[in-house]
């Protein structure tokens, strides 16, 4: 953390990208599985998959550095992140039922939540518990310093409900294997166990679900954050009433983002582990 602060953001990003490239080279097993995953899901050649996975490692090396530096960069986030569609969030909050911001492990999602918090919106984010409690606590602390309230591991229903009752924006990373608790739904064209917790919350409380993702720009420094209008159910019905339809819509939306920027998605994660023995 100290080194990142001394170097400055651009130099620190180069360091993070280099670290990601080295990790890709030495993570033989994980990188190989990520390439196989990429070939199977995108239908690309092995050579193209190698490029995508390598660039993904580089991207997440930079993203880690950016997250570490987030508390210091909060004051200048508007110079880094261009937000499109913020009006959808503000309009949804007017209903008084909270907002579920549907996102994924693509781009630099931590900057997305921080950008909205910096614009005065009440932000909370669900975080996964890490193997080392010190890392879990460090992540929560960094988010809190950026104005984003951490929510307990997984989709803690009680904590999530409280967020919505307080009319807050609850950010959820939806591209995770829900194992036996999920519903089967196509993700990049292949069935995957998909979380239903956010969908059921939306149905029960009438909470709007807004897809949102953030992508690093061509210069490697600036980012574009896109917030889409609230998802709708079939034939004008409330979103979430038909759980499988809602899961399909969520996965379809995220898959579209990945197809557009495959090198910024986390191919190292076994998204299809429950359905395709993807380990």
- Where does the pLDDT of residue 159 fall: very low under 50, low under 70, confident under 90, or very high at 90 and above? confident
How sure is the predictor about 139, in pLDDT bands with cuts at 50, 70 and 90?
confident
pLDDT of residue 277: 77
Q: What is the mean pLDDT of residues 5-9?
A: 66
Predicted pLDDT of residue 128: 63
Give the Cα separation of 165 and 14 in Å (integer). 42
Tens of pLDDT, residue by residue over 255-273, are: 999 999 999 999 999 999 9
Please, what is the average pLDDT of the chain?
Answer: 91
Domain boundaries, the chain: 77-271
> In this model, does residue 6 exceed pLDDT 60?
no
More confidently predicted of 133 and 173: 173
Lowest mean pLDDT among 93-102, 148-157, 181-190: 148-157
- pLDDT at position 78 is 93
Residue 62 has pLDDT above 80, yes or no: yes
Q: How confident is the model over 45-70, as a mean pLDDT?
A: 96
The reported pLDDT for the residue numbered 5 is 52
Decide if pLDDT at 116 tops 90.
yes
pLDDT at residue 107 tops 90: yes
> What pLDDT is stored for residue 36 in this prediction?
97
Determine the pLDDT at residue 1. 46
pTM recorded for the entire structure: 0.92
Of 96-100, 150-154, 168-172, 245-249, least confident by mean pLDDT is: 150-154
Calculate the dihedral angle through the C-alpha atoms of 257, 225, 160, 119, rounding to the nearest 10 degrees: -170
Residue-wise pLDDT tens digits, 37-49: 999 999 999 999 9
pLDDT of residue 3: 46
| CA-closest candidate to residue 180, choices 273, 269, 253, 248 | 273
């Amino acid at each position: 953390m100290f080194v990142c602060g001394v170097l400055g953001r651009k130099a620190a990003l180069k360091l993070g990208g280099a670290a990601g490239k080295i990790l890709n080279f030495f993570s033989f097993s994980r990188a190989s599985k990520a390439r196989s995953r990429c070939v199977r899901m995108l239908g690309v050649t092995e050579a193209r998959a190698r490029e995508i996975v390598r660039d993904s490692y580089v991207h997440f090396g930079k993203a880690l550095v950016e997250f570490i530096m987030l508390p210091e960069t909060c004051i200048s986030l508007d110079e880094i992140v261009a937000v499109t569609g913020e009006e959808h969030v503000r309009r949804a909050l007017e209903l008084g039922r909270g907002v579920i911001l549907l996102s994924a492990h693509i781009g630099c999602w931590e900057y997305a939540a921080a950008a909205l918090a910096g614009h005065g919106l009440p932000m909370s984010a669900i975080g996964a518990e890490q193997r080392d409690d010190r890392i879990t606590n460090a992540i929560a602390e960094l988010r809190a310093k950026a104005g984003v309230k951490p929510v307990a591991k997984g989709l803690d229903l009680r904590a999530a409900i409280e967020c919505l009752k307080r009319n807050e924006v609850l950010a959820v990373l939806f591209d995770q294997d829900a194992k036996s608790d999920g519903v089967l739904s196509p993700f990049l064209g292949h069935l995957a166990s998909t979380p239903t917790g956010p969908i059921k919350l939306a149905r029960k409380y009438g909470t709007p679900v807004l897809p949102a993702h953030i992508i690093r720009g061509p210069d490697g420094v600036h980012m574009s954050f896109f917030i889409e209008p609230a998802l709708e159910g079939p034939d004008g019905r409330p979103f979430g009433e038909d759980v499988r339809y809602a899961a399909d819509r969520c996965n379809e939306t995220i898959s579209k983002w990945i197809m557009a920027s495959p090198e910024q998605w986390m191919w190292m994660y076994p998204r299809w582990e429950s359905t395709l023995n993807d380990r």
